[in-house]
A and B are shown apart, each in its own frame.
Chain A
């Protein structure tokens, strides 16, 4: 199945939000995706027919719930080509990175006290490391971005060295849609013996992610940006590294045996999953992955690129538009712009008048906005259920708004 305008019309029918909000043009997929009926049903059906806590019950209902939970993990592991036990469930990307920032110390080699990030990180992959640096007296360095918004890989080579404890980078920038060559950055990191972390929040539902091919030690993403419910996220980590790390939360399920004085920790991945987990969330995430695979990741990537190229070609012609685009290639599903001197919040509210939902502001990338000398941008982010008609309506509305600010 090749996605085209006609197929999108069919796909949209799987997403009840569109039926319940006639005329909604949803272009804020980087904030969160909409959810297909298949995912919603899998969650309600679990609560209606299969609800029980996992791991500890020796009755059928609980055993079934445990099986559903662990089968879901297998689906998620396979989706990113991880080994069994390498996918740990968290709340979201933010929690995955926080977990790392608290548990990673046993992996850091003697004498290394620098963290390397990029200038385009989401606050989620910046603030936890700032706190880490304060706690451990580390220094944070940043790989610069160039005039064309792409990362300066020469600078990456310069900044990395024998002091670098870890390098953590965003795969696809949520504000500008730049696709970073994470494979190359991981290689650069590996060469100097640093731990490598990838924030895949904006890539995992838009392109095929293969952790072995990227070669990273850790990778984080959120379910809610990939058709799954809120409150379920993933931290992937290489087994031998996760084994050496200290647990994040302590309590039930993460232990093997407990005395009044002490406890021994459970095996992976349970060691990192203390307390009752978001079981329905995990089931929903597996269902979301099934849906993504049914559409096909290559298919999704191709269609979203078509949407991006189509919209950029049209939006370029709007008078007074400033696009924040890489001139290397248009490969992602996100782009940012500003309209004349209009504040992004005004543009967002006025687009809303026509049922068009986009995001305006700093996109949790304040340092980057400061560097670009702007307070924010208007951001369009696609999903495979968007089509050319959505874009035509967007362009129309932008032209209307432009008149307000040009008068």
Chain B
């Protein structure tokens, strides 16, 4: 009955911290703040201490440009890098329906349950930014 549990956790860590993910952490895409953004928003995750500030330029209901800055773990910075890449040129409506699975697709790495919230924060921040400002302008 006694079965040995081997340390398969090891695999996951290696798979999560792929070289291209680490590279995105060291040199993130779209990092900074737009000079004349249409919308801005700051989101904070007190549990991780992560902070992200989003600035978005909207033209014709589309994301013309987007920047982020802040601090976070490797996974959240890499996720912010890739998601900001992805939504450039996208219609606001389409951005609002992006979900966790889309993120996992973009990232191309397995994420352990406990680290899921790390990659979700940037997308959440973007959505909150769009919703909040969408309401006040309409």
Contact = CB atoms under 8 A, between A and B. Distances in A.
A349 B115 contact: yes
B132 interface: no
A355 B133 CA distance: 46
A328 interface: no
A345 B49 CA distance: 10
Contacts of A352: 9-10, 13
B48 A375 contact: yes
Given A22-B4, A404-B17, A345 B10 contact: no
A21 B49 contact: no
Query: Which of B5, B50, B72, B73 has its CB near the most chain A CB atoms (within 10 A)?
Result: B73
The number of chain B residues touching the other chain, given as a range, is: 20 to 34
B97 to A, nearest CB: 28
B74 interface: yes
Contacts, number: 59
B48 A345 contact: yes
B52 to A, nearest CB: 13
A361 B47 contact: yes
Contacts of A20: 2, 4-5
B7 A362 contact: no
Contact of B13 (A24, A349, A366, A376): A349
Contacts of B93: none
A20 B5 CA distance: 6
A21 B4 CA distance: 7
B115 A345 contact: yes
A346 B118 CA distance: 10
Interface in B84-138: 112, 115, 118
Interface in A337-390: 343, 345-346, 349-350, 352-355, 361-362, 366, 369, 374-376
B73 A343 contact: yes
Contacts of B7: 21-24, 355
A26 to B, nearest CB: 12
Contact of A22 (B6, B49, B50): B6
24 contacts: A20-B2, A21-B7, A22-B7, A24-B7, A343-B71, A343-B72, A343-B73, A345-B73, A345-B118, A346-B17, A346-B74, A346-B75, A349-B16, A349-B17, A350-B17, A352-B13, A353-B13, A355-B10, A362-B49, A374-B49, A375-B48, A376-B49, A404-B22, A407-B26
Given A345-B115, A353-B17, A376-B49, 17 more contacts: A24-B7, A343-B48, A343-B49, A343-B71, A343-B73, A345-B73, A346-B73, A346-B74, A349-B115, A352-B13, A353-B13, A361-B47, A362-B47, A362-B49, A366-B46, A369-B49, A375-B50
